[in-house]
Amino acid sequence: MLKKKLAFNTRNICYLCTMQVTAKELSNFLDGTLEGDPNVIVTKPSKIEEAEIGSICFLSNAKYESYIYTTKASVLLVSRDFQPTQALSPTLIRVDDVYASIAALLEKFGVTENVAQGISDQAFVHPEATIGNDVTIGLFTVVEQGAVIGDQSTIHPQVFVGKNVKIGKNVTLYPGVKIYQDCIIGDNCIFHANVIIGGDGFGFAPLVDGTYKKLAQIGNVIIEKNVEIGANSVVDRATMGSTIIRSGAKLDNLIMIAHNVEVGENTVIAAQAGVAGSTKIGKNCMIGGQAGFVGHITIADGVKVQAQSGINASIKQENISVYGSPSLPYNDYLRSYALFKRLPDMSKKIKELERKLKELEKE
């Protein structure tokens, strides 16, 4: 493979948002319904509690509603069925899905970060690696023998791509990402800083003398297309076979995915969650931060897990919400907690009743 010089031309990557557009243009772009001044100019997005004149902000959570009656924002995105309880000064754009509309605006009006194209002279690319068209490889990155990197992928500085790793098209690897040998990454994936793919699973056999013998981890990791993984998250290689992250899954920062786990399509997992070995999580699940899963269980499609819940058994019912540790169905947990937090008072009352009962028995 011929090593391409680091070029002076640049690739644009969305970084922050800026705009100069009227409320009417925004409404047309979002297929929204406009209420108010169609000619007001929007220059930037803002949080609703910090908005200034020229800002666009949004309301999707009822607990922030109080801010919309005092905000200085020029335009406010709301759902079509939202009914204000006071007079509003911003121009309203009513849309079907507030979050989807924000995502569309950020994508369209993003300020771009300039990333130099080509392969840095200070990167090491093995002669037997295969590099696609329009690939960027940054400073001090290492691409090992037999690796394949697909067209239009961007590899930032200080990334390690191990032997025989296969990386698809339009993949972005931010600084410090490490991908161990034989792992497979699909098209359009994004891995943020210091993601580790393919480290050894936690496999040790106890010996009679109380020590542990390491078990060889000879599998790999397969990450399908359109997956995004947050900074400092890890996905361990399988003991045998593959650890699999299915298409469209989104993993937050500081997540641990153990050996032979499977995460289903379009499942989202918030920060600091951990999934133990050989657990299978279905598609379209939503998992809150710091949730923990024991190994060798199966989670049905569409399950919602509240933050800090502990899942210690398989969940076979689809689209159920669970809460607590060990987890219970969501409403059962709330009812149980309502009783649990009253236990100290209930204990006092029981002791008082026991005292009175003893007094009656004496009489």
Question: Residue 34 and residue 161: Cα distance in Å, rounded?
Answer: 49
Whether residue 326 has a cis bond before it, omega within 30° of 0: yes
Residue appearing with tokens 């009352």:
349
Question: Residue 216 and residue 235: Cα distance in Å, rounded?
Answer: 16
Give the amino acid at 323.
Y
Q: Which of 283, 220, 277 is nearest to 246 (CA)?
A: 283
Question: Residue 237 and residue 355: Cα distance in Å, rounded?
Answer: 62
191 with 172: CB under 8 angstroms?
yes
Give the amino acid at 20.
Q
Could you tell me which residues come within 8 angstroms of residue 353 by beta carbon, excluding any fewer than 6 positions away? Answer: none
Question: Residue 220 and residue 278: Cα distance in Å, rounded?
Answer: 13
Give the amino acid at 293.
F
Q: Which of 25, 28, 30, 68 is nearest to 46 (CA)?
A: 68
Options 126, 156, 192, 259, the catalytic residue = 259
187 with 225: CB under 8 angstroms?
yes
Edge-to-edge order in the sheet of strand 55-58: 33-35, 91-95, 75-79, 55-58, 44-45
Verify whether residue 126 is a known catalytic residue.
no
Q: Find residue 256's DSSP bridge partners.
A: 234, 274
How many angstroms separate the Cα of 41 from the Cα of each of 2, 91, 225, 298, 311?
Answer: 50, 10, 38, 51, 49
**Catalytic residue annotation:** 259
